[in-house]
Structure 1
Amino acid sequence: MLIYNANVVCLNDLIEQGAVYIQNGRVNRILSHQELDSFLLKKPDLYSVNAGGAWLIPGFVDVHVHGGNGYDFMDATEESLLGISKFHAQHGTTSMLATTVTSSKDNIEKVLKSVASFQEEIQPFAQVIGVHLEGPFISPNMPGAQNPNYIVPPNVNWMKEWTEIYPNIVKILTLAPEADHAIEVIEYSLSQGIVIACGHSDGTYEEILRATEAGLTHSVHMYNAMRGFHHREPGVAGNILVNEGLSTEIIADGEHVHPVSIQLLTKLKNKDNLLLITDAMSAAGLGDGTYNLGGLEVVMKDNVARLKEGGNLAGSSLTMIEGFKYMVNTVGLSVSEASKLASYNPAKLLGLEYEVGSIREGYQADLLLLTKDLEIEKVWKRGELIEF
């Protein structure tokens, strides 16, 4: 298949009126407008898609998403996994991590088992490439919308058990690095190839620094559920802002973080260590109403989800395409810059940057065709058009 007459967004280049030739589910050639005619002479019967001057960008990689369209990954069923992956694929996500919430050990194990089984099936929508454990090893001082009844200190025996029974399933572990035994868990999890993330943390600047030295490399939903910046104690937020060894995430929905704070983040992280996520919960895609998150009641009103008790923001109703548009239209990034945050940087975090997350020859053909107004026209995964 050939997609032509597109603004092709590559990692370090924008090819106007370019074309992408796909073969066996991978990008075989990237062509300029000048190269197209001679290429077509060699393949006169090639199936072609005229992009009409639209944007062609890599599929989104969401490393922090809890659910959508009424489904939650904590349901731990094939129906929910299919429902979530279909919903988010409709909004441009082609790869995702099933993200847990702080819950019982038994419930977390059910999620690990369900994802391990799901990976053995044909996945027609977004690819569920593993699990992001958000909790239960978080700070009781910074629960956010996590259920405080299930918060426990970091437990290396649990991590050993989970990685032995479900090898290569856990891709990210979010914990409070200041907690007792956190360094031990960080060092063990790192040895298993797991990305260690700071989140729901009340740690000091120095505590986060020590965790970074032990192997912490990432942080979740910047500014939210973390000790904030103070000029005499920079806290978690201050460490992330200046620490080049830490990447971080942003929920770009206009509710979680002020756009100026996001602009500051893009300047300090130079757009290399910043990831766009949804943190979407089951209410994403649905209307106002009452929902459940980790056993806690959540009220959705005007697309904003908050805990019924206490009023804390509870995940989001965001999709990746809406976050992408917010980064372009409100924060002021270019389409190419926003694409890096939504696709390449998340893939790089997971060590998948040579497979997905950018449009390059030899890479998996996970592609989105966007109108000039950044609305999704088509979604391809491994070169196959996803039918919804």
Structure 2
Amino acid sequence: MNKLYKTSATIPQSIKDKAFYHPQERHSISISVTHLDGYKLPGIIDCHFHGAYGWDFSFGDPEKINAMLDKCLPEGLTGVIATLMISSEENTEKAIRDITEVIEKRTVPPFVHGIYLEGPFLASAKSHQHQREFLLSPDIELIKKWQDIAKGKIKIVTVAPELEGATDFIEEASQMGIICSIGHTQATWAQTKAAIKAGAKHVTHCFNAMNPLYHRDPGALGCILADKTLTLELISDSIHLAPETVAMIYSIHESDKIVLVSDSIAPRGMSDGKHDFYGTTLLKKDGKITYAASGAIAGGNSSLLTATVRTAKDAGTSWGSLGTAIWRTPSRILNLKSLETNVYFDKDFNWLATSLNNKTWFHK
């Protein structure tokens, strides 16, 4: 791994000489504690991660996926859910096979903890960066086929509740152990409520790719905000959502119902300029990734660590709540076993090292 070192059994001197704060309680992390030399977290798990550094999980190729993940280690990332853009069935199945191989064989962080199908069961008008020619109606037999290819590794599927057959699909997929996530939707309140009753447990990047809240027709977003059972993804980069919006969500929802995500896409980590991905031209400029033609936001351009630090600063959210949203809650909803990782940062939240099983260290 470029400019990184791997050592065994020995704590790097840069870590040993510092007094690190390891939060034992859910809300015990405090960003205002200035006398400490740094911070220690059990991990950072990005539940909605497409790609970075010029590659994407949707493209497959285990070697290139591993190379991309290696570059994410200095971002403090210990795990991701491989999130797929929609594509042809053939391409999707190849990507699933290749990702499954990485899941089974990768031995260093960040690990891949499963597959997230962000489609193809999306509302056309809210499909955004996803290629509309590959949209499909909810199809449980297709998911069963893909889950067989994935050897049970598909963890989350996005479904627009208004699509024909959506509630039956959600009920059956939930019985398979798949988390059904509401997103990319123009659903009504009633349609969204029916999806929740059928078993939907999660929301794909809340606010984004859904109708805005309107007081005379609250729709999907109104139903989502009123519900207390769903976990909500927030792209917390102060670009997709205003900091005030993030602060509002934290004021009305328990912190263990919030999952911060990056929605990172392939151009992140590349040079500014135009890049051709996903069947279109994207522009990376001024900290954003947009569609070159329309200027609309295309996806995330921040690592989850960077976005989380920004949220603490811009939204005034406590580090205890944020720590829950980037590690504890992802671990819970994905039913992950003990990950045996720790991530170390200096007092400015610059990455210093990641340990695995307290035996192997990855550091600068």
Quick one: which of 208, 230, 246 aligns to 2:230? Answer: 246
Give the deviation of 1:236 after TM superposition.
Answer: 1.6
Q: Work out which structure has the larger RCO, using CA pairs closer than 8 Å and 6 or more positions apart in sequence.
A: 2
Q: Give 1:77 deviation, angstroms.
A: 0.5
Deviation at 1:166? 2.4
Change (3 A) 1:171 1:347: same
Structure 2: gaps (5+ residues) = 1-8
Q: How many Å separate the matches in 1 of 2:266 and 2:74?
A: 15
Deviation at 1:13? 6.0
Distance in 2 separating the partners of 1:273 and 1:334 = 15
Letter of the 2:176 partner, please give it: Q
TM alignment of 1:1-388, pairs within 5 A: 5-12=19-26, 14=28, 53-352=37-336, 355=337, 363-383=338-358, 384-387=360-363
In structure 2, C-alpha distance between the alignment counterparts of 1:111 and 1:213, rounded to whole Å? 32
Question: Distance in 2 between the 1:240 and 1:293 partners?
Answer: 31
Q: Return the letter of the residue paired with 1:386.
A: F
Deviation at 1:52, TM superposition (A): 6.4
In structure 2, the CA distance between the partners of 1:11 and 1:387, relative to structure 1 (3 Å rule), is: same
> What percentage of aligned pairs have identical amino acids?
25
Contact 2:352–2:363 (CA<8 Å) still a contact in 1?
Answer: no
Runs of 4+ in 1 over 6 A off after TM superposition: 1-4
Conservation of the 8 A alpha-carbon contact between 2:29 and 2:323: no
Q: Decide whether the 8 Å contact of 1:73 with 1:81 is kept in 2.
A: yes
Deviation per CA, 1:59-102, whole angstroms, max 9, x where unpaired? 10111000011111111001221122112222111011110012
> Deviation per CA, 1:16-64, whole angstroms, max 9, x where unpaired?
9xxxxxxxxxxxxxxxxxxxxxxxxxxxxxxxxxx96311112101110
Residues 259 and 330 of structure 1 are in contact (CA less than 8 Å); yes or no, is this contact kept in structure 2? Answer: yes
C-alpha distance in 2, partners of 1:260/1:13? 21
Distance, in Å, in 1 between the alignment partners of 2:241 and 2:253 is: 16
State which drifts further: 213-222 or 187-196: 187-196
The answer to whether the 8 Å contact 1:273/1:345 transfers is yes
Q: Which amino acid aligns with 2:140?
A: V
RMSD: 2.0
1:349 offset after TM fit, Å?
1.6
TM-score normalized by the length of structure 1: 0.84
Q: Residues of 2 paired with 1:13 and 1:184: CA distance?
A: 38
Following the alignment from structure 2 to structure 1, what is the Cα–Cα distance between the partners of residues 223 and 307? Answer: 25
SS at match of 2:107: coil
**Alpha-carbon distance in 2 for matches of 1:66, 1:13:** 29
Equivalent position amino acid for 2:361 in 1: L
User: 1:12 offset after TM fit, Å?
Assistant: 2.8
Gaps of 5+ in 1: 17-50, 356-362
2: distance between equivalents of 1:364 and 1:104? 34
The amino acid that maps onto 1:156 is: I
Instruction: Evaluate the alpha carbon distance shift between residue 175 and residue 294 of structure 1 in structure 2; reply closer, same or farther with a 3 A threshold.
Output: farther
Give aligned pairs, total. 345
Give the whole-Å Cα distance in 2 for the aligned partners of 1:150 and 1:377.
42
Residue-by-residue CA offset, 1:286-324 (whole Å, 9 max, x unaligned): 221222442222111122111223332111111011011
| 1:209-259 alpha-carbon deviations (Å, 9 max, x no partner) | 000000001001111101221111111211121101111111111211111
